[in-house]
Structure 1
Amino acid sequence: MSTDSNALPTPGCTPSCDTLIRNVSVIDGSGSAAYVADVALAGGRILHIEPHGNASAGALSGWQAQQVVDGSGKVLSPGFIDVHTHDDTNVIRTPNMLPKLSQGVTTVVVGNCGISAAPVSLKAEPPDPMNLLGEASAFSYPTFASYVDAVNQAQPAINVAALIGHTALRSNQMDRLDRAATATEIAAMCEQLREALEHGALGLSTGLAYGNAINAPTAEVLALAEPLAEAGAIYATHLRSEFADILEAMDEAFRIGKHARVPVVISHLKCAGVENWGRSGEVLEALEQAQRYQPVGCDCYPYTASSSTLDLKQVTDTIDIMVTWSEPEPAMGGKLLADIAAEWQVDLMAAARRLQPAGAVYHCMQDDDVNRILSHPASVVGSDGLPNDPLPHPRLWGAFPRVLGYYSREQKLFPLAVAIRKMTGLSAERFGLAERGLVREGYWADLVLFDAETVRDAATFSDPMQPAEGIDAVWVNGALSYLGGAQKAPTELRAGRFLARQAGVSGVLAS
């Protein structure tokens, strides 16, 4: 293990640090096996790691520290990186970020699915699905630079990195979104994208399945993706279809990545809809074939239910659909669409139209497909949680401990070190987050201490706003930001910051 000689105390001086975590089992985010060590933090970074059993140096028992934590019997891992979130406005409006901090998340990637809070200049209420980020008053960042400033001024409890949404750019430049953009409109969108990339945006995201982007032809996205390569950015996409036409939608995504010469990340890869169940093998085979010629990866969440706005195209009687909110019919939140339709004595489609605008949870996947995608070497974990839903999908509070507890410990889908890599080191590589995602000397001290035997998600569909069990402590940039145990509460320290894209760091092919 390398040591930064400049960071360590000089000989003859009593070594000191801000925080000393002793006797802890380190799983470092690289996929390597656990080892017991003492870990010293100082200046927001990991100052020194001393593995036990090193006869030449010994543990850090002689060090002085402002805070000493006994990690005996616990695991210390990198803080989890939630690569797929819609926390764009919440990191500013609710900066304590308890739903994420309480499950060990120290960094969120916002701006997914073509939806971003910046750069946005609304002419009216935010179009669907941008309304998932809040009402019009939440959108006050006409440039990406102004959003970066707002994040840093709010100083959220977690770090924030951001993609730029295609639908957001369209809403800025187009009089209506049910058509293709003109060359002039595309040029204006490209200019806004370039400004964002200059100020550290990770890349471009699309949500081509949504009504306000589905009429954008491939050529529009090809043109808009062209500024990405020069900036060393990425292309992330909510595919045009996650149902029967998923392979064609994946081909479109790969074509865009090849054209722009940039890595592709397929958002929340899934086989949605009863007619699509069992197709994960061929979906992953298509991804593997693409990986032979270009950098491609995916993220996924550890549940068999999705959640978004109530989409008329997804209304069906083959699955359960739970309404999470409805603007005209708020009392219907928490009820199944089928039960609402029966109560109103109308069919499902008529009920869905009456509820608009609304949100919903769709129980649209099967376990075998989720297991296969989640365990694939190309996949990393993202919650896709919707923080503004009154009755959110439980993934908002529980995605990461669910991977640790249910999928790794109970189902034995993969070893704990693999689970952690999918939520830390591999995620940081993929999204170009330098000096994050590993327990390594010199890296930023984004860390989570947890009990591998008890960690689990407590959030359920009926009671979703529940902090995880088994998360003992979370550090963000070296600051102790959350304490678990009986209190399960954030501390007074909020040390998060905006993380700019680091050109050349992204490694989507890594597996």
Structure 2
Amino acid sequence: MHDLIIRGGTIVDGTGSSSFIGDIAIDDGKITAVGQVSEDAREIIDAEGLLVTPGWVDTHTHYDGQATWDPLLTPSGWHGVTTAIMGNCGVGFAPVAPDHRDWMIDLMESVEDISADALKAGIDWQWVSFPEYLDALDRMPRAINVGSYVGHCALRTFVMGERGAQDEDPTEAETQQMADLMSEAMEAGALGFSTSRTAIHLTPGGDPIPGTFAKEAELMAIANAVGSYGNGGLVEVIAAGVETGEREIQETEIALMSRLSLESGCAVTYLTAQIGKDPDLWRESFRLAEEANAAGAMLIPQVSCRPVGMLFSFESENPFARFPSFIELKGQPQPDRLAALRDPEVKARILADKDPALTAWTQLFANPWPLTFELGEVPDYEPDPDTNIKTLSEKQGREPAELAYELMLKNDGQAFLFCATAGFSDGNLDATREMLLSSTSMVGGSDGGAHCNFIVDAGVPTFMLTHWARDRKDGLPLEMVVRKQTSDTARRNGITDRGELLSGQRADINLIDLEKLTSLAPLLVNDLPAGGSRLIQRAEGYVATLVSGQVIMKNGEDTGARPGSVVRLSQMGR
């Protein structure tokens, strides 16, 4: 008798093979039979009319702090994610010396917009080293599995102190110490290493984060430590120039990543997207990666499945948020603030105001309207390009800022606008479709847990199904969509025990009503430690999510089961 049988579902097994109607038997947290299972079980789940897929493996999240207090890792846990990988973009919380804890928290807030007050209240610091960090995560009961890269910022600062934080060059001894700590982390179960070289990742003081200008010798020593472990391991690079779209810089960075991969034997993944300055630059990125791979490297362009953008609302971030006339209203209770925003005199004063400081935000918000759209109660991430705020305002004979202001007043001041900062240069997602179709690419960039006040992209796994496999006329095959965010993301991280509905695999499984599946409108809440705020987005249509054969979510609600664990690369194949 089996522990559990899921009967009669439409199985999309994560391998890319055609879907089929069948059963799945589960024993001791693993799949033991797939197909027509005649035996009985202690528990049976009727999956007729439902999709049965592996749980999603999200390769790019920032739950490094949240994972120490939140067993569900929401919003990701609401969207069928059963394994979340942290430590991306070069930031993380291990290794860390006690006197650098607050600095690392402030750095995380600066880079990833996660409340420092929330992190300081929520993290209990049961570790110094990276192995101790994984052990601390493992001691906490959790529903969602977690794994982590080692962030360059933490590694550099731990070894070099203030000099590392100021991005000075390490000595040979310090370089070796970083490599040794990386080896220690790999032995303990790290999934790899991440570093950031982009100018958009800054310290609270406005300086480039540790590692931004690291020389090749330093990066190579660490990559070799990852590669020498011999059991996989991924190096993630946020490349220089990703924010500017300079072709020469891109070529130089991809050449560096190719050398890192060739010498270390590691796969190297890097974020890429369509950008407005050079909408076809991504094609060159893919061409260079494929050329390097043909020569023996393993480069993986990491792409988002929808536009990379920001959410504007009066409750969170918006283009007026730094105006003195708007700041005056921030301390008021929401009903009073809403009443003030509706006042014609207040509205006129805000619309006539400006940001007194010249910052990157000032430049970003100077004219976002050609790529800003009303998000809607049912979020639309591939809107009609003719419905942008600039075009609509011109048709109405109004200023774009005034129209945006009025649209954000909808839903009692909680309506959202969506500014598509990347990935929507052509007014559609055709370029994204091409990227997703490439066997070279990997789906990522959800940033789950990060950018709490202006981005909530943890629901991209749901968008993959609803938009690409169900709703879009020129979409993608369901089987490919499922594989892209299960076995593909798992295997590229060296994780071999999940991501496919095959005998012997972990029983991390989603049961989905595809017809009803939808992402709900974002919502700002104050549920982080110390009352910290964040944007969340729930979903409907996930009938059940299982981890190790136990139902952790049922119709979007926590069941209380805590079968999750830390995924350790060092344990793969054992």
The TM tier, using the shorter chain, reads: 0.7 to 0.9
What CA distance in whole angstroms lies between the structure 2 residues aligned with 1:323 and 1:189? Answer: 42
| TM superposition shift of 1:134 | 5.4
| TM superposition shift of 1:341 | 10
Q: Is the 8 A contact 1:451 1:471 kept in 2?
A: yes
Which one-letter code corresponds to 2:263 in the other structure?
Answer: H
Q: Is the 8 A contact 1:383 1:399 kept in 2?
A: no
Please name the residue that 1:380 is paired with: 442
Greater CA drift, 371-380 or 31-40? 371-380
| TM superposition shift of 1:271 | 3.2
Uncovered stretches (5+) of structure 2, i.e. residues with no partner: 202-207, 312-316, 332-340, 342-348, 366-417, 526-534
| DSSP 3-state at the match of 1:433 | coil
- Quick check: 1:151 aligned with 2:137? yes
What CA distance in whole angstroms lies between the structure 1 residues aligned with 2:482 and 2:513? Answer: 13
- Quick check: 1:174 aligned with 2:161? yes
Cα deviations across residues 263-315 of structure 1 (Å, max 9, x unaligned)? 1122x32233x21223222221112111112222232222212479xxxxxxx
What CA distance in whole angstroms lies between the structure 1 residues aligned with 2:305 and 2:146? Answer: 22
Please name the residue that 2:520 is paired with: 458
Please name the residue that 2:542 is paired with: 471
| DSSP 3-state at the match of 1:147 | helix
Q: Is the 8 A contact 1:95 1:156 kept in 2?
A: yes
Please name the residue that 1:27 is paired with: 12
Please name the residue that 1:258 is paired with: 262
Q: Is the 8 A contact 1:231 1:503 kept in 2?
A: no
| TM superposition shift of 1:73 | 1.2
Which one-letter code corresponds to 1:196 in the other structure?
Answer: A
- Quick check: 1:126 aligned with 2:104? yes
Q: Is the 8 A contact 1:401 1:457 kept in 2?
A: yes
Please name the residue that 2:185 is paired with: 196
Q: Aligned to 1:227, which of 196, 203, 225?
A: 225
| TM superposition shift of 1:348 | 4.7
Taking a change above 3 Å as real, the CA distance of residues 185 and 482 of structure 1, as seen in their structure-2 partners, is same
Uncovered stretches (5+) of structure 1, i.e. residues with no partner: 1-15, 52-58, 309-320, 506-511
* Structure with the higher helix share, 1 or 2: 2
Cα deviations across residues 172-228 of structure 1 (Å, max 9, x unaligned)? 223143333222332222222121111011111111113113222233212222212
Please name the residue that 2:568 is paired with: 500
Please name the residue that 1:238 is paired with: 238
Q: Aligned to 2:49, which of 73, 82, 87?
A: 73
What CA distance in whole angstroms lies between the structure 1 residues aligned with 2:421 and 2:309? Answer: 6
- Quick check: 1:408 aligned with 2:469? yes
What CA distance in whole angstroms lies between the structure 2 residues aligned with 1:25 and 1:351? Answer: 47
Greater CA drift, 234-243 or 386-395? 386-395
| TM superposition shift of 1:350 | 7.8
Report the count of equivalent residues. Answer: 453
Taking a change above 3 Å as real, the CA distance of residues 217 and 271 of structure 1, as seen in their structure-2 partners, is farther
| TM superposition shift of 1:455 | 2.1
- Quick check: 1:304 aligned with 2:307? yes
Percentage identity across paired residues of the two chains: 25
Please name the residue that 1:214 is paired with: 212
| DSSP 3-state at the match of 1:67 | strand
Taking a change above 3 Å as real, the CA distance of residues 40 and 504 of structure 1, as seen in their structure-2 partners, is closer
Q: TM-score, normalised by structure 2?
A: 0.72
What CA distance in whole angstroms lies between the structure 1 residues aligned with 2:115 and 2:184? Answer: 24
Q: TM-score, normalised by structure 1?
A: 0.81
- Quick check: 1:395 aligned with 2:457? yes
Q: Aligned to 1:364, which of 412, 416, 422?
A: 422
| DSSP 3-state at the match of 1:395 | coil
Q: Aligned to 1:346, which of 338, 356, 361?
A: 356
| TM superposition shift of 1:489 | 0.8
Please name the residue that 1:490 is paired with: 558
| DSSP 3-state at the match of 1:163 | strand
Taking a change above 3 Å as real, the CA distance of residues 241 and 341 of structure 1, as seen in their structure-2 partners, is farther
Cα deviations across residues 411-434 of structure 1 (Å, max 9, x unaligned)? 243100000000011112111112
Which one-letter code corresponds to 2:551 in the other structure?
Answer: L
- Quick check: 1:185 aligned with 2:163? no
Cα deviations across residues 351-376 of structure 1 (Å, max 9, x unaligned)? 659x9xxxx98723323433322332
| DSSP 3-state at the match of 1:108 | strand
| TM superposition shift of 1:139 | 7.5
Which one-letter code corresponds to 1:35 in the other structure?
Answer: F
- What is the CA RMSD across the aligned residues, in angstroms? 3.2
What CA distance in whole angstroms lies between the structure 2 residues aligned with 1:82 and 1:323? Answer: 31
What CA distance in whole angstroms lies between the structure 2 residues aligned with 1:414 and 1:97? Answer: 28
Q: Is the 8 A contact 1:41 1:48 kept in 2?
A: yes
